[in-house]
Structure 1
Amino acid sequence: MATEPAEPGGDRLARGLAAIDAANAEDPNQLVVDGTSRPKELVHAERMSHWLAVLAPDATEAQQLAARAHHLRRWVSPRSDYPDGRAAYLRWRADHKRREAAEVGELLEGVGYDAATIERVQAIVAKERLRSDPDVQTQEDALCLVFLELQYDDVAAQLGDEHTIQVLQRTAKKMSPAGLAATGAIAFSEHGAALLARALAPAEDPPPR
């Protein structure tokens, strides 16, 4: 019996990305980009793909799919559905990871991906072995760059300078040297650039006693 030829990887990748985009296009939350209102998580996913291409031009299919899927349908389980406090926050994150892994798996299985590739995508999205897996670190770098590009100014306006600097310092600690270097490609506001420079400046030694 003749077997069907294997589907070209590029075609399957395109269908996988399109399936993820279709899911994120349902986001009722909007961002205005270049004067056009668009679904928030769709914009987020597209910028994740952009930064992945900057950081890892030879990224694997699993990396490309994971970058596009990282905040898949996040609006269906908002943080506001859970009580205040760290314990509730951690429960929200765990529930989100489980839901996201299941939905990513269903989408990729639907376009013909094998179990091993799906598991790899799920592991990157879940940021497993962050400090020991270069692909996961690249995912984290891309996430931080998207935050700085799309959310930083709003966060700074809400938190004030000193708290924002603390947020930037925590963000920088998550990033690799390559990720930090890529921040140079972001068009920060003058005030935003100044805060980032303060956050990244080496700590001053205490004065001698």
Structure 2
Amino acid sequence: MATPYEKALSSIDAAHSQDPKIITIKDGSQIPYELHYAQCCSKWLSQRAPSASEPLSLAIRAQHFRRFEIPRSDYPDGKAGYLNWRTFLKKRQAEQTAQVCLDSGYSTEDAARVGALIRKEGLKNDEETQILEDVACLVFLEDQFEEFEKGHDEEKIIGILRKTWGKMSEKGRELALTIAMDGRPKELVEKALSG
């Protein structure tokens, strides 16, 4: 008999598997992007907080729950459009994941906690919310940054890197410094951290 955690995790990954964007990862295999992202998040969580609670583990796994259904292009260009998109997504992802938790046998309290973590409530005051933020930043730096930096000028990238660094805890920063980078990405990170 599957536990509530196993049921919820299975439902979350089933949703991620529906992402139509398929990527090729380092070992040459292909995988839906959001499933890959979720797996990267869980990998970093195991380093950042090896004894993480079930609600935190599920929130980490579901950070982008069904995000592919609401593309960025549905919102206006610019910072305001981006922030509106992100705000809507956080609320939607939190509600949908909390429902998955309820459907999997979790209490209302535990399901609500998962939703609160996905909404990043209490950032800087709530240790688990900070862990979720650290994990998101670590995945960005390790898995997304190299591609992301190609589409922006150096000044903007350095600003984004400094903001990312500012969002992280000391433990998160220690882990970030273990990420292997070469070439331009490494150079940009060094510039951002030296300024």
- TM superposition score category, shorter chain reference: over 0.9
Which of 29, 45, 48 is residue 36 of structure 1 equivalent to? Answer: 29
The amino acid across from 1:127 in the alignment is: K
Give the whole-Å Cα distance in 2 for the aligned partners of 1:56 and 1:84: 36
Alpha-carbon deviation of 1:35?
A: 1.0
Moved more, 151-160 or 128-137: 151-160
Alpha-carbon deviation of 1:158?
A: 1.5
Give the whole-Å Cα distance in 1 for the aligned partners of 2:146 and 2:94: 30
Residue 16 of structure 1 pairs with residue 8 of structure 2: yes
Give the whole-Å Cα distance in 2 for the aligned partners of 1:126 and 1:163: 26
Moved more, 126-135 or 28-37: 28-37
Give the whole-Å Cα distance in 1 for the aligned partners of 2:87 and 2:52: 27
- Name the residue aligned to 2:65: 72
Residue 150 of structure 1 pairs with residue 143 of structure 2: yes
Could you list the runs of 5+ residues in structure 1 that have no partner in the other structure?
A: 1-6, 204-209
TM-score after normalising by structure 2 = 0.93
Count of aligned pairs: 194
Cα RMSD after superposing both structures: 1.6
Which of 76, 81, 98 is residue 74 of structure 2 equivalent to? Answer: 81
Alpha-carbon deviation of 1:155?
A: 1.4
Alpha-carbon deviation of 1:89?
A: 2.9
Residue 89 to residue 160, structure 1, CA distance change in 2 (3 Å): closer
Which of 157, 171, 186 is residue 164 of structure 2 equivalent to? Answer: 171
- Name the residue aligned to 2:96: 103
Alpha-carbon deviation of 1:58?
A: 1.0
The amino acid across from 1:139 in the alignment is: L
Give the whole-Å Cα distance in 2 for the aligned partners of 1:195 and 1:98: 33
Structure showing greater Rg: 1
| Residue identity (%) | 39
Residue 120 to residue 199, structure 1, CA distance change in 2 (3 Å): same
Alpha-carbon deviation of 1:110?
A: 1.4
The amino acid across from 2:12 in the alignment is: I
Give the whole-Å Cα distance in 2 for the aligned partners of 1:17 and 1:132: 27
- Contact 2:99-2:111 at 8 Å conserved across structures: no
TM-score after normalising by structure 1 = 0.87
- Name the residue aligned to 1:3: none
Residue 25 of structure 1 pairs with residue 17 of structure 2: yes
